[in-house]
Amino acid sequence: MSVPATVAGFQSDGSRFVLRDPKLLERADYDLWNDQMFLHLDHRGRGRGAFMQPNPHAYAGEGRWFYIRDKQSGKLWSAPWGPVYADPDSFSFTVSLDSLEWRVRRDGIEVRVQVVLPQDDAVECWSIKVSNVCGSARSLEVIPAFPLGFPGRLDQQAGWESGHSGFIMRYFPYYVKIDDYDRLAAGKNITYVLADKTPSAWESRQEVFLGHGDFGRPQAVIESHWPNVRSRYQETIAAMRYDVDLAADSSFSLQLLMGPAADDAEIATIRQRYQRSDAVEQILVRRREFRAQFPAGVQVHTPDETFNHYVNVWLQDRVLRVGRTLRFNYAPQARNAIQDAMAATLMDPGTARRWFSRIWIFSTKMVSCPMVCAWIRVRM
């Protein structure tokens, strides 16, 4: 299928890919990553994130959405595109190696959403800008809504905590054997969504948020019913309503930080480190410095420019990711671990040597070559 460049394609040097038609594909997706975590999202706002503890561990549900409701007309739409799926006047989903960005315009309002991951921490850094481009004043509700799930079958509660200026879910994972208690207690059993602005209202109970509707038409949003009640032992959502009055040509900005934490001190550290006006720029600079340490091992130059971009930019990123993280697998199959370590030799020889040493040491301790290299990521 031939797709016009005005609809989708690489830009300039191939370091960015832009999709401008939200209906072209069922799922246009990509995953951001660092050595501690990954975040996999598509152009609709569907996806998931996980961090290593030491296995991949989810800290939230599968959705990152921002509702826009016009108070005067009652019209509702959303960014990135889902879950409302209202037809936009214009749309773009831009994928870069270290950034995902959506721009959605409808009824004289433009929403820009961007997410990045820092180099050294397991945290999603979101920035949202809502601009009035219609030439007249508008009164809106801007509602970030992140489903968090129900990870704490034994103990879980969540709600807005003014001390952190954020939405905090505290839980304890389910376990059967008493020996597992201490191990689980030492984990990151908190999920936070920190905001640089206090919301007008919030909702934590996903069932109440949806009411008789669904994520496409949640009852709390349609009826503007926000009781500010904490959730306990139930599916949780971090939904925050911001009442925004925009004069012509003005805008509203919001920063959100989302991720796992072990305790309140870690939450405070994350806020201090990343809730700054220049945080995104500094994160991207640090990521560029990181990538500069690992030049591409292979470059191709063919008449097919799309193929060149794929191999020279995007395949290199996959090689680096797989080589450094072993596909975010705590106990990889021996064959996969060897293949991934081989890939690392092309861009990150030091990491490759470390993996090969661990594979060899582990295999020599076994009577026969194991199918699964258990704990290879952390044991020598």
360 belongs to a structural domain: yes
* CA dist 288 → 208, 295, 336 (Å): 43, 11, 28
Q: In this structure, are 227 and 330 located in the same domain?
A: no
Q: In this structure, are 70 and 141 located in the same domain?
A: yes
Rounded Cα gap, residues 169 and 114, in angstroms? 23
Q: What pLDDT is recorded for position 261?
A: 98
CA-angle at 47, arms to 4 and 218, nearest 5°: 100
Segment 155-195, tens digit of pLDDT: 999 999 999 999 999 999 888 888 888 888 899 999 999 99
237 belongs to a structural domain: yes
297 belongs to a structural domain: no
Q: In this structure, are 206 and 247 located in the same domain?
A: yes
State the average pLDDT for the chain.
Answer: 92
Q: In this structure, are 82 and 210 located in the same domain?
A: yes
Q: What pLDDT is recorded for position 366?
A: 62
- Exposure pattern of 261-274 as b/e (b: 16+ CB <10 Å)? beeeebbeebbeeb
Rounded Cα gap, residues 308 and 296, in angstroms? 13
Segment 307-319, tens digit of pLDDT: 999 999 999 999 9
Q: Left if phi > 0, otherwise alpha if psi is -120 to 50, otherwise beta: which for 108?
A: left
Segment 255-306, tens digit of pLDDT: 999 999 999 999 999 999 999 999 999 999 999 999 999 988 789 999 999 9
Is residue 167 within 8 Å of residue 193, measured between CB atoms?
Answer: yes
Domain with 204, as residue range(s), is 11-274
Q: What pLDDT is recorded for position 336?
A: 84
6 belongs to a structural domain: no
Over residues 48-52, mean pLDDT: 94
292 belongs to a structural domain: no
295 belongs to a structural domain: no
Q: In this structure, are 319 and 229 located in the same domain?
A: no
Q: Which residue, 103, 125, 97, is CA-closest to 32?
A: 97
What confidence tier does 346 reach under pLDDT thresholds 50, 70, 90? confident
Q: For residue 92, give both structure tokens.
A: 């773009």
Domain closes at, from 274, 290, 314: 274
Q: What pLDDT is recorded for position 380?
A: 38
Q: Which helix (H) or strand (E) holds 145?
A: strand 138-149
Q: What pLDDT is recorded for position 376?
A: 53
Output phi, psi for 290, to 5 deg.
Answer: -60, -50
pTM above 0.75, yes or no: yes
% of the chain beyond a pLDDT of 70: 95
Q: Which residue, 171, 33, 47, is CA-closest to 102?
A: 47
Contacts of 261 (CB under 8 A, 6+ apart): 188, 190, 191, 192, 267, 270
Q: In this structure, are 65 and 176 located in the same domain?
A: yes
Over residues 194-214, mean pLDDT: 97
In the chain, how many domains are there? 2
Q: What pLDDT is recorded for position 362?
A: 77
Q: Does residue 368 surpass a pLDDT of 70?
A: no
Contacts of 69 (CB under 8 A, 6+ apart): 75, 76, 140, 141, 143, 221, 224
Place of tokens 């970030």: 144
Q: Does residue 371 surpass a pLDDT of 60?
A: no
Q: In this structure, are 110 and 248 located in the same domain?
A: yes
116 belongs to a structural domain: yes
Task: Please name every residue paired with 9 in a beta bridge, in sequence order, or none if there are none.
Answer: 18
Segment 140-156, tens digit of pLDDT: 999 999 999 999 988 99
Q: Which residue, 146, 231, 244, 163, is CA-closest to 199?
A: 244
Rounded Cα gap, residues 111 and 132, in angstroms? 9
Is residue 150 within 8 Å of residue 234, measured between CB atoms?
Answer: yes
Domain CATH number, residue 235? 2.70.98.40
Q: In this structure, are 323 and 219 located in the same domain?
A: no
Q: In this structure, are 89 and 34 located in the same domain?
A: yes
* CA dist 243 → 11, 82, 138, 193, 202 (Å): 37, 21, 11, 19, 11
Q: Does residue 32 surpass a pLDDT of 70?
A: yes
Q: In this structure, are 234 and 316 located in the same domain?
A: no
Q: Which residue, 132, 111, 114, is CA-closest to 68?
A: 111
377 belongs to a structural domain: no
Q: In this structure, are 151 and 69 located in the same domain?
A: yes
Task: Please name every residue paired with 127 in a beta bridge, in sequence order, or none if there are none.
Answer: 114, 255
What confidence tier does 378 reach under pLDDT thresholds 50, 70, 90? very low
Higher pLDDT, 367 or 64: 64
CB atoms within 10 A of CB 296: 17
Q: In this structure, are 193 and 335 located in the same domain?
A: no
